[in-house]
């Protein structure tokens, strides 16, 4: 077997595991992106989940068999990469089709949306974890790198121009991450009104915001290290040193993913059933979720971010103008910066 | 501020959303569950939580500010202030509300409640009980 076959098998297996776990991430009363009674999830809904998983794993088994049984392409022909892409894409399509089928079946058991909405009158903490001090950290790292590069400007093979642009682009990425973090902290609906369920939901949101702040740190550290490595005096030291910084960040991200799997969407699986909110679902109407719950489109909802129904974390309300401004800003800012700087 | 302070909104109700929000808030203010110095959530936060337009919440806050309950703070929501009490009764306002009450009393009688039951319920409500 070639390395391409092994890579294909790894991707297919990881994909199957993710799709297998997907129903587990949802809130306890949401199944396949549909708001259903919690009793249904624990009862008849399990049959739906079993059938869905059977299709996912059958697709994965077929993809694995194809990647093993097909003849090994000649090295350098480029067919290996095509084969891998085809097998992985096919496997992904089967898994998505399984999800869409299960979603359609679950809709027969959907709970009609409630006309009553309830909110807490207690102001909640919408600040960034660690406050402004932690948020300026990535900018300080980039600025310190720029100063260091300025000091060693005579030792740079390509001159300081490109490197300054590189760091400025890093600054834009960091600003984007922090904008997303602020937006997520402030423009997300609090679903559980009070008690342990609300506390768990707020903790869950803050961890998500913290992840974005730490991603900003990761970007700043990575760019700074790459830049500083161009100075011969630092290149050897950085090779080993960078791992000490990035490894904890990676471990933290793995830890967070595992934690999210355990506590589920909005942290609600960690809350005792009796202490959960008295209203069903995530305060978004099922009809506003499109393509099996992948996209949320609700122009009448002022929330920019809502909880994902497929997977864990948050997604943008693509019916909201502010969400579009955020998305367009995210896409355009680095492109314009790259055009101007390089 | 005590916990479990909530505001609710019934989308199926004929009462406008801003009035429902203001009514709920006023009930907490009259019951002194919201006290002078307490902060209310920013307009945008409450609007997102209730899934209504920002102006709906802003209108409710402004209504209560006009009644002397709240001080509006730009981008920071609103703070409960000490209301100059007792205020002289605004006869026009009181007459308008009493007319509404008379309509409600008639509706209650038409659904089968006796005058005694209505009086007793009104007394309980005036003392701060929930319906």
> 3-class secondary structure for B29-92?
HHCCCCCCCCEECCHHHHHHHHCCCHHHHHHHHHHHHHCCCEEEECCCEEEECCCCCCCCCCHH
Taking an 8 Å cut-off on Cβ atoms, the answer to whether B41 and A122 are in contact is: yes
Segments in chain A forming alpha helices (H): 3-25, 38-42, 45-69, 79-106, 131-151, 160-186, 195-228, 232-263, 321-341
Whether residue A188 has pLDDT greater than 60? yes
Whether residue A126 has pLDDT greater than 70? yes
The strand pairing partners of A70, in sequence order, are none
Taking an 8 Å cut-off on Cβ atoms, the answer to whether A116 and B8 are in contact is: yes
- Report which of residues B109 and B73 the model is more confident about: B109
Taking an 8 Å cut-off on Cβ atoms, the answer to whether B6 and A300 are in contact is: no
Tell me the residue length of chain B. Answer: 131
DSSP string covering A5-46: HHHHHHHHHHHHHHHHHHHHHS-TTEETTEE--HHHHHTTHH
* Residues A63-91: b if buried by 16+ CB within 10 A, e if exposed: bbebbeeeeebeeeeeebeebbeebbeeb
CB A188 within 8 A of CB A305: yes
Condensed to tens digits (0 to 9), the pLDDT of residues A259-297 reads 888 888 888 888 887 777 667 778 889 999 999 999 999
Amino acid A223: pLDDT: 84
Taking an 8 Å cut-off on Cβ atoms, the answer to whether B7 and A118 are in contact is: yes
Nearest by CB: A118 against B6, B40, B42: B6
Whether residue A78 has pLDDT greater than 70? no
The CB-side HSE value for A6 (13 A sphere, CA atoms) comes to 3
Q: What is the torsion angle, in degrees rounded to the nearest 10, for the CA atoms of residue A276, residue A282, residue A287 and residue A288?
A: 180
Interfacial B residues in 16-35 facing A (CB < 8 Å)? 25, 28, 34
Q: What CA–CA distance (Å, rounded) separates A83 from A62? A: 14
Q: What CA–CA distance (Å, rounded) separates B22 from B66? A: 12
Q: What CA–CA distance (Å, rounded) separates A36 from A28? A: 9
Whether residue A75 has pLDDT greater than 70? no
Chain A hits for B40, CB-CB cut-off 8 Å, are 121, 123
Whether residue B46 has pLDDT greater than 90? yes
CB A185 within 8 A of CB A209: yes
CATH topology of domain B17-80: Arc Repressor Mutant, subunit A (1.10.10)
The domain segmentation of chain B, as residue ranges, is 17-80, 91-126
* Tokens, residue A42: 């624990």
* Tokens, residue B19: 């009035």
Distance, in angstroms, between B9 CA and closest chain A CA? 5
Nearest residue of B to residue A186 by CA position? B45
Count CB neighbours of A128 within 10 A. 21
Q: What CA–CA distance (Å, rounded) separates B65 from A123? A: 18
- The DSSP element (H or E) to which B118 belongs, if any, is helix B115-126
* Percentage above 70 pLDDT, chain A: 91
Banded pLDDT at B30 (limits 50, 70, 90):
confident
Amino acid A31: pLDDT: 92
From residue A39, give the alpha-carbon distance in Å to each of A22, A262, A310: 19, 20, 20
The strand pairing partners of A30, in sequence order, are A35
* Residues A282-301: b if buried by 16+ CB within 10 A, e if exposed: bbbbbebbeebbbbbbbeeb
Residues in CB range of A71: below 8 A, 6 or more apart: none
| Residue position matching structure tokens 């932690």 | A134
Nearest by CB: A117 against B40, B41, B50: B50
Whether residue B2 has pLDDT greater than 50? no
Whether residue A169 has pLDDT greater than 50? yes
Q: What CA–CA distance (Å, rounded) separates A280 from A122? A: 21
Residue A321, chain B, CB below 8 Å: the answer is no
Nearest by CB: A121 against B28, B51, B54: B28
Cis omega (within 30 of 0) for bond into A45: no
Interfacial B residues in 56-115 facing A (CB < 8 Å)? 77
Q: What CA–CA distance (Å, rounded) separates A292 from A109? A: 15
Task: Tell me what the pLDDT averaged over chain A comes to.
Answer: 85
Instruction: Say how many Å lie between the first and final Cα of chain B, rounded.
Output: 23
Q: What CA–CA distance (Å, rounded) separates A321 from B53? A: 13
The strand pairing partners of B8, in sequence order, are A118
Nearest by CB: B49 against A115, A190, A300: A190
Taking an 8 Å cut-off on Cβ atoms, the answer to whether A122 and B48 are in contact is: no
Chain A hits for B11, CB-CB cut-off 8 Å, are 115-117
Q: What CA–CA distance (Å, rounded) separates A100 from B120? A: 56
Amino acid A240: pLDDT: 64
Interfacial A residues in 242-301 facing B (CB < 8 Å)? 283, 300-301
Chain B hits for A116, CB-CB cut-off 8 Å, are 8-11
Long-range CB contacts for residues A125-131, cutoff 8 Å, separation at least 24: A125/A202, A125/A206, A126/A185, A126/A186, A126/B45, A127/A185, A128/A178, A128/A181, A128/A182, A128/A185, A128/A209, A128/A213, A129/A206, A129/A209, A129/A210, A129/A213, A130/A210, A130/A213
DSSP string covering A62-89: HHHHHHHHSPPPPTTSSHHHHHHHHHHH
Taking an 8 Å cut-off on Cβ atoms, the answer to whether A189 and B51 are in contact is: yes
Interfacial A residues in 94-153 facing B (CB < 8 Å)? 115-124, 126
pTM of the entire predicted model: 0.79
**How many Å separate Cα A58 from the centre of its chain?**
26
Nearest by CB: A302 against B8, B28, B53: B53
* Tokens, residue A169: 């682009």
Whether residue A132 has pLDDT greater than 80? yes
CB A12 within 8 A of CB A64: yes
- Report which of residues B77 and A64 the model is more confident about: A64
């Amino acid at each position: 077997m070639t390395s391409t076959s092994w890579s294909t098998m790894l991707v297919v297996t990881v994909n199957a595991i993710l799709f297998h776990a997907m129903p587990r991430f949802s809130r306890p009363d949401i199944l396949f992106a549909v708001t259903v009674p919690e009793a249904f999830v624990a009862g008849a809904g399990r049959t739906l989940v079993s059938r869905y998983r059977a299709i996912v794993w059958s697709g994965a088994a077929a993809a694995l068999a194809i990647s093993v049984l097909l003849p090994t392409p000649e090295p350098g022909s480029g067919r290996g990469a095509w084969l891998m892409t085809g097998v992985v894409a096919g496997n992904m399509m089967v898994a998505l089709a399984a999800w869409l089928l299960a979603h359609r079946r679950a809709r027969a058991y959907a709970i009609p949306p409630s006309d009553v909405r309830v909110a807490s009158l207690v102001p909640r903490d919408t600040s960034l974890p660690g406050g402004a001090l932690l948020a300026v950290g990535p900018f300080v790292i980039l600025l310190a790198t720029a100063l260091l590069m300025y000091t060693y400007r005579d030792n740079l093979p390509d001159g300081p121009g490109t490197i300054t642009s590189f760091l400025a682009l890093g600054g834009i990425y960091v600003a984007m991450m922090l904008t997303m973090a602020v937006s997520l902290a402030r423009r997300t609906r609090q679903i559980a009104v009070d008690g342990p369920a609300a506390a768990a939901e707020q903790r869950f949101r803050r961890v998500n915001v913290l992840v974005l702040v730490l991603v900003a740190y990761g970007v700043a550290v990575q760019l700074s290290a790459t830049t500083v490595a161009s100075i011969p005096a630092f290149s050897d030291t950085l090779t080993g040193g960078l791992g000490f910084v990035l490894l904890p960040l990676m471990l933290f991200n793995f830890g967070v993913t595992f934690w999210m799997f355990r506590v589920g969407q909005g942290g609600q699986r960690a809350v005792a059933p009796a202490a959960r909110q008295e209203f069903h679902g995530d305060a978004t109407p099922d009809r506003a979720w499109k393509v099996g719950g992948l996209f949320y489109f609700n122009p009448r909802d002022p929330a920019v971010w809502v909880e994902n129904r497929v997977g864990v974390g948050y997604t943008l309300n693509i019916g909201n103008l502010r969400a579009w401004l955020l998305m367009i800003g995210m896409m355009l800012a680095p492109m314009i910066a790259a055009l101007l700087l390089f | 501020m005590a916990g479990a302070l909530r505001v609710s909104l019934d989308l199926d109700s004929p009462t406008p959303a801003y009035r429902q929000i203001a009514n709920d808030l006023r009930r907490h203010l009259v019951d002194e569950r919201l006290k002078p110095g307490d902060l209310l959530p920013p307009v945008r936060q409450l609007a997102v939580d209730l899934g209504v337009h920002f102006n709906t919440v802003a209108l409710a806050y402004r209504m209560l500010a006009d009644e002397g309950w709240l001080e509006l703070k730009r981008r920071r929501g609103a703070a409960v202030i000490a209301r100059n009490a007792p205020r002289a009764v605004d006869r026009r306002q009181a007459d308008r509300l009493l007319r509404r009450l008379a309509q409600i009393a008639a509706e209650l009688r038409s659904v089968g409640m006796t005058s005694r039951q209505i009086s007793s319920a009104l007394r309980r409500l005036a003392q701060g009980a929930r319906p």
